[in-house]
Amino acid sequence: MADRQFSWKFPLQKFLVLRIEGLFLLILAVLMYLTILYRFDKEAPVAVGFTVLFLAMYALLSFAIQRWRSVEEHYKVTKNYLEVVRKKKNKTKKEKAFLKDVVHHKLDKVFLGGYVVTKKGKKHLLFFNTKQELEKFESFLKKHLKP
C-alpha cells in the first residue's frame, strides 16, 4: 500500500514563511538597512533599529494574514491520479489530474514547489514542507508516469 499512494498536507502548523518569501525578505531587509544607513549619515544603531522594526512588523502581519486566511492544501497521489484539495476559510476546491494525462512536471528543490501540466494545458501547483516530501513525490512520479 505504501508504494501505491503518497499524500501530504501543506502548510504544516510550524510553517512561518516560504523559502522564496524568506529570500525576498532578506534582500529587502539588507537594502533597507543600507538605504537607512546611507540616509542617516552612517549611524548604524538607527539603521539596525528600523530594519528590526520592519522585520517585526512583517512577521506580525504575516502571522495575522495566515490566521485570517487559514489556507490549507491536501495532496494525494496514487498510481492513477493526483488529487489536490484546497481549503480557504469556508471554501473547498478539488482538482484531479490523471497521471496518464501528465505531459510535463517541474519541481524546485530549493524553494520546495513545483507543478504538473496535463494534456489539456491545466497547470496544477504543488507546495511541499520539506525536501524529503518533494523527493518522495518525485520518485513516486518517476515510478508511475508513463514515458
Same domain, 108 and 124: yes
Here the CATH number for the domain that contains residue 114 is 2.30.29
Same domain, 136 and 92: yes
Structural domain boundaries enclosing 47: 19-69
Spatial contact of 116 and 133, defined as CB atoms under 8 Å apart: no
Please give the full DSSP string across 38-107, using - where no structure is assigned. Answer: HHTTS-HHHHHHHHHHHHHHHHHHHHHHHHHH-EEEEEEEESSEEEEEEEETTEEEEEEEEGGGEEEEEE
Q: Give the H/E segment covering residue 118.
A: strand 113-118
Query: Does residue 6 fall inside a structural domain?
Result: no
Same domain, 140 and 80: yes
Q: Give the H/E segment covering residue 27.
A: helix 19-39
Spatial neighbors of 98 by CB under 8 A, at least 6 apart, are 80, 81, 82, 118
Q: Which pLDDT tens digit goes with each residue over 25-56?
A: 999 999 999 998 888 777 888 888 899 999 99
Same domain, 76 and 134: yes
Same domain, 77 and 129: yes
Determine the Cα–Cα distance for residues 14 and 68; give it in Å rounded to an integer.
16
Q: Is the peptide bond before 11 cis (omega within 30 degrees of 0)?
A: yes
Total domains in the fold of the chain: 2
Query: Does residue 96 fall inside a structural domain?
Result: yes
Query: Does residue 7 fall inside a structural domain?
Result: no
Residue-level pLDDT, tens digit, the chain, 147 residues: 456 788 888 877 666 667 778 889 999 999 999 998 888 777 888 888 899 999 999 888 888 877 787 788 899 999 889 999 999 888 999 999 998 888 999 999 988 899 999 999 999 999 998 899 999 999 888 887 766
Same domain, 125 and 74: yes
For position 16, what pLDDT does the model report?
Answer: 63
Query: Does residue 12 fall inside a structural domain?
Result: no
Same domain, 59 and 105: no
Among residues 116, 132, 115, 93, which one has the least CA distance to residue 84?
Answer: 93
Same domain, 80 and 54: no
